């Protein structure tokens, strides 16, 4: 097959068109324990914190092989205790509905507040729902990819922060799959506990892994909670901290492409620059 700049342009919500240079970055075979590769893992983990306005003292990045949904499921699976937990899902489209399916598959007690597919999440209705009920977790989609609707995640984050008996005790999960990298987001201002995105959305890498920017203090309380071996965010994190490596075979070529995609994001002026485009 020829190497050319343009295949047909992709406008799908999954893989998207990547630059020739991002594709070319994959033309190397690196071993999973290769020092160059290990350094790239660390670089990517740190760079993502910077893009998220997340302090490295408070947050850490966990990389999970697979598509975005793998990381959403890993986050639910790991962060929700097996007992005495209830999650509120704020839903206004296909990806919010996928969170419901994840709860059903994992047997997680949940409640849903739904809005129309072409409607933004309404803050006052969420505030009311939170006033009348107690939840240990709240989850929302940042940008509903199918409709393009942007939800007010920072305002909702403030409500979640104030919810419950102790400020900040409610876990706030944000799926920013199709927002992160192109829409500025601040984990700090949004009081976000877990923010999820993947390699092949706005950062414009190739598919193969997803990441969860996680509040370290909470993640460290999650040992043994995951309902899965591979989708265990806690285990993946502790292993990565100790060894600087993945637990199982990493998507090496995808990581090389992603490192290059991050460089190109920076050349474009970072998140602000991409947002302008």
Q: Cα(24)–Cα(101) distance, rounded to whole angstroms?
A: 37
Per-residue CA distances from 46 to 62, 66, 101, 149, 213 (Å): 10, 20, 32, 29, 10
**Region of 20-28, 34-42, 66-74, 264-272 interacting with ligand PLP (CB under 6 A):** 66-74
Nearer to ligand PLP, 37 or 172 (CB): 172
Burial (CB < 10 A; 0-12, 13-18, 19+), residue 191, is buried
Minimal CB distance to ligand PLP: which residue?
A: 68
Total interface residues for ligand PLP by CB under 6 A: 12
Asked whether position 18 contacts ligand PLP by CB under 6 A, the answer is no
Strands 171-175 and 149-150: unpaired
Nearer to ligand PLP, 157 or 208 (CB): 208
**Contact yes or no for 189/170 (Cβ under 8 A):** no
Task: Report the nearest approach of ligand PLP to the CB of residue 174 (Å).
Answer: 10
Run of H or E including 88: strand 87-91
For the segment 185-204, give every residue that binds ligand PLP (CB under 6 A). Answer: 198
Q: Which of 141, 160, 212, 256 binds ligand PLP (CB under 6 A)?
A: 141
**Region of 16-24, 106-114, 151-159, 171-179 interacting with ligand PLP (CB under 6 A):** 171-179
Task: Report the nearest approach of ligand PLP to the CB of residue 177 (Å).
Answer: 3
Q: Cα(153)–Cα(189) distance, rounded to whole angstroms?
A: 10
Task: Report the nearest approach of ligand PLP to the CB of residue 145 (Å).
Answer: 3
The CB density around residue 73, as the number of other CB atoms within 10 Å, is 26
What is the chain's percent helix, strand, coil content, to nearest 5?
Answer: 40, 15, 45
Q: Which of 18, 60, 61, 67 binds ligand PLP (CB under 6 A)?
A: 67
Q: Which of 178, 214, 252, 254 binds ligand PLP (CB under 6 A)?
A: 178
Binding site residues, ligand PLP, CB under 6 A: 13-14, 67-69, 95, 141, 145, 175, 177-178, 198
């Amino acid at each position: 097959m020829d190497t050319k700049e343009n295949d047909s342009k992709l406008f799908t919500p999954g893989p998207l068109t990547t630059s020739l240079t991002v594709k070319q970055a994959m033309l190397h075979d690196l071993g999973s324990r290769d020092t160059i590769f290990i350094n790239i893992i660390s670089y990517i983990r740190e760079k993502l914190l910077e893009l998220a306005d997340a302090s490295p003292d408070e947050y850490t990045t966990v990389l999970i092989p697979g598509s975005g949904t793998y990381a959403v499921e890993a986050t639910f699976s790991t962060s929700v205790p097996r007992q005495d937990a209830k999650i509120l899902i704020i839903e206004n489209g296909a990806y919010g509905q996928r969170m419901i399916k994840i709860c059903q598959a994992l047997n997680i007690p949940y409640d849903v507040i739904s809005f129309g597919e072409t409607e933004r999440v309404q803050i006052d209705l969420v505030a009311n729902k939170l006033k009348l009920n107690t939840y240990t977790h709240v989850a929302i989609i940042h940008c509903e990819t199918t409709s393009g609707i942007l939800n007010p995640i920072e305002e909702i984050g403030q409500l979640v922060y104030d919810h419950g008996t102790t400020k900040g005790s409610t876990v706030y999960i944000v799926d920013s799959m199709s927002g992160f990298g192109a829409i500025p987001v601040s984990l700090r201002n949004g009081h976000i506990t877990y923010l999820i995105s993947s390699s092949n959305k706005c950062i414009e890498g190739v598919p193969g892994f997803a990441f969860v920017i996680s509040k370290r203090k909470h993640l460290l309380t999650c040992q043994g909670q995951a309902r899965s071996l591979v989708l265990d965010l806690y285990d993946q994190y502790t292993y990565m901290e100790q060894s600087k490596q993945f637990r199982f075979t990493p998507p090496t070529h995808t990581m090389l492409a992603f490192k290059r995609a991050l460089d190109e994001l920076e050349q474009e002026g970072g998140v602000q620059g991409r947002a302008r485009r």
